[in-house]
Structure 1
């Protein structure tokens, strides 16, 4: 049986061979071949092609209308050695996550190829932890087990397990009294927890350091995350139809729903990268550029970028970008959502940080006197 890497190599060879056969005929045959492929096969073909060939294929895809290109979702392996009940519920949850992924993609939503993997990673780790500690059923899981699991894995966020805990409870109409007394798993928190952020000044230092030490492409992708609030995946997949010049001569991009002007000091970096990839992009119709990306030529492995350039802090840096925008007075939720693509629940959580931060702008002695007056501890 072929391993994943070998299977991919065989698919890659087959895709390129059939592409060569079509190219030997004419452009119409190439378009017919591309149309025949699945969205995942088109993605693999683009990734397998050399840069110049990939750019030409991307242009052809742009002339073919709304033809999807999608990375194959990463598979998830549930360990066979887990106790039967633990494994069964994991398989059921995996089926639910897969169904949701397919429904979202079918309805036109963009989702990372690691969507299922990210949602299954922590539940699988929790199952392994329970099995190692002699717990073989989910219905005897208690809050202290979850707390000890998170203590052993301090890098995990509680939110990464909440969805699975709600899934475990959804069919439990009656309380199970056998075995260990169950607890209210996945109960809704009364107070939302803001995502981790760094201060705007610290964020500025991070961006400056990346610009000083990294390549222009790496800096630009980091800037999209740390300033525009894009996810790494969305920034990496940014296509040329989302970049254009406006009537005033400024370069604008569309990171989410609306167009945003690129700062003057960023414009030449972005223009140089685009010109190297597609020199005549300004004269090309936007619909022909909807599959043409710029970062994949310069950054071969986006996971290495997350680890080495962003120091595994992509989530924190993106949240910090949104917080910095709010800190600078951009407080309208609809504008933040349309400009940066951040969700409304995340904005609401970040707003909790503003009240505390605003207090830090005031001299502590003034805050102390105000609190004393409110509590009736002062005469004046």
Structure 2
């Protein structure tokens, strides 16, 4: 099984390849003694190492690992990716590494408390601080204390506006402040605006969206079309759709394949449900479980296509447009309850509120408040009826 795993898809980076080879070698050495020794090795690994072992294992080894993790109640979770630093002066690099360590501790504490964080979160947080360090190093600055406002302004002119916001916490940190200080108490009053500015949201008409779905079904394999459908029909973000894990997929009492990408379970249409079921069984031969959370949090689409190819190849770089169009189409065809839309697709109530201006009806006048409240209780499972 280890030999089978070694000939699987090569890890994308040198660091991940080294980690995979080391883990498989250690497991091989332990397994050559006995299976109990191999299981003891798994208990000594970190959740990140167990996740990496599971990610790069062949099908046979993956099934054995899942059984071993369940038997010993071992957790497996993706680790936070480290930042990659260019050649920098020592004092610039030291503070960057301090900032990375501070954020790593904060993110790991949140993950431990049940908050989901993508593996690339930490690495992305470091992009702008590293870019700033490289910029001022090229201007002859070798420590943060000697950086001038003119350096910061010159750097800001080279970056998009949204990137400047990501630097605020880091600048506070290097200036000796607390970037994560909680601001308690009542916020100061702001002058009220008579007219509220609403950003126009670009959407396709329902007919145009239907044509996009038909085109995607013809050009994509069934498993890749399923990712497309989750965004363009159900209204998920591409990140949530691609990252859908096994513990959020099951078969209900009526024999329907159901998924829970946000708060509520959703029954898959019978035309595409077999594809989802096949992917789930490929990820874990013992799926489905009586309790969905007993399944490992394995991304079922990881073996379908690499994440970096999802946007350009599956969605043709239209992910935001397709998701907005899916939400708009659902409202257009009568899915008018905000709570239902948010519970199924994870879309924010602010976005729903903005998009209501695109629907030619006052959606709150169509049903009674009592009916809406009762439906919300049913969705959240707090209704005893």
Deviation at 1:114, TM superposition (A): 0.8
1:224-373 matches, within 5 Å, as 224-278=230-284, 281-282=287-288, 286=292, 288-299=294-305, 301-342=306-347, 344=348, 347-349=349-351, 351-355=353-357, 357-358=358-359
1:102-181 matches, within 5 Å, as 102-125=108-131, 137=147, 139-140=149-150, 146=156, 148-150=157-159, 158-165=161-168, 168=171
**Residues 40/349 of structure 1: CA separation in 2 closer, same or farther (3 Å cut):** same
TM-score (norm 1): 0.68
Deviation at 1:284, TM superposition (A): 6.8
CA contact (8 A) 1:194 1:350 kept: no
**Residues 312/128 of structure 1: CA separation in 2 closer, same or farther (3 Å cut):** farther
**Residues 41/9 of structure 1: CA separation in 2 closer, same or farther (3 Å cut):** same
Cα distance in structure 2, aligned partners of 1:83 and 1:27: 47
Cα distance in structure 1, aligned partners of 2:136 and 2:14: 34
Cα distance in structure 1, aligned partners of 2:225 and 2:310: 10
Give a deviation string over 1:9-42, Cα, whole Å, max 9, x none.
3332221123234445655444332222111111
* Consecutive unaligned residues in structure 2, runs of 5 or more: 1-11, 177-192, 363-385
**Residues 280/166 of structure 1: CA separation in 2 closer, same or farther (3 Å cut):** closer
Residue 115 of structure 2 aligns to a residue whose secondary structure is coil
Deviation at 1:45, TM superposition (A): 0.8
Could you tell me which residue of structure 1 aligns to residue 46 of structure 2?
A: 38
Give a deviation string over 1:73-111, Cα, whole Å, max 9, x none.
2222344448977x7875665455334322221212121
CA contact (8 A) 2:311 2:317 kept: yes
Q: Of the two structures, which has the highest relative contact order with CA contacts closer than 8 Å and spacing of 6 or more?
A: 1
Match of 1:73 among 67, 80, 102: 80
**Residues 310/40 of structure 1: CA separation in 2 closer, same or farther (3 Å cut):** same
CA contact (8 A) 2:135 2:155 kept: no
CA contact (8 A) 2:88 2:134 kept: no
* Consecutive unaligned residues in structure 1, runs of 5 or more: 151-155, 174-189, 362-380
CA contact (8 A) 1:43 1:70 kept: yes
Cα distance in structure 2, aligned partners of 1:295 and 1:351: 32
**Residues 221/24 of structure 1: CA separation in 2 closer, same or farther (3 Å cut):** farther
**Residues 208/62 of structure 1: CA separation in 2 closer, same or farther (3 Å cut):** farther
**Residues 27/258 of structure 1: CA separation in 2 closer, same or farther (3 Å cut):** farther
Deviation at 1:259, TM superposition (A): 0.8
Deviation at 1:262, TM superposition (A): 0.8
Residue correspondences, number: 329
Q: Which moved more, 1:235-244 or 1:132-141?
A: 132-141
CA contact (8 A) 1:195 1:350 kept: no
Deviation at 1:236, TM superposition (A): 3.5
Cα distance in structure 1, aligned partners of 2:87 and 2:313: 33
CA contact (8 A) 1:61 1:288 kept: no
**Residues 161/322 of structure 1: CA separation in 2 closer, same or farther (3 Å cut):** farther
CA contact (8 A) 2:80 2:104 kept: no
CA root-mean-square deviation: 4.1
1:9-48 matches, within 5 Å, as 9-24=17-32, 27-48=35-56
Cα distance in structure 1, aligned partners of 2:359 and 2:127: 37
Cα distance in structure 2, aligned partners of 1:253 and 1:57: 24
Give a deviation string over 1:111-153, Cα, whole Å, max 9, x none.
111102223324544665677789983634788974x435xxx
Give a deviation string over 1:267-326, Cα, whole Å, max 9, x none.
122233334555553477645522454323333x22122332233444554454445445
Cα distance in structure 1, aligned partners of 2:312 and 2:162: 22
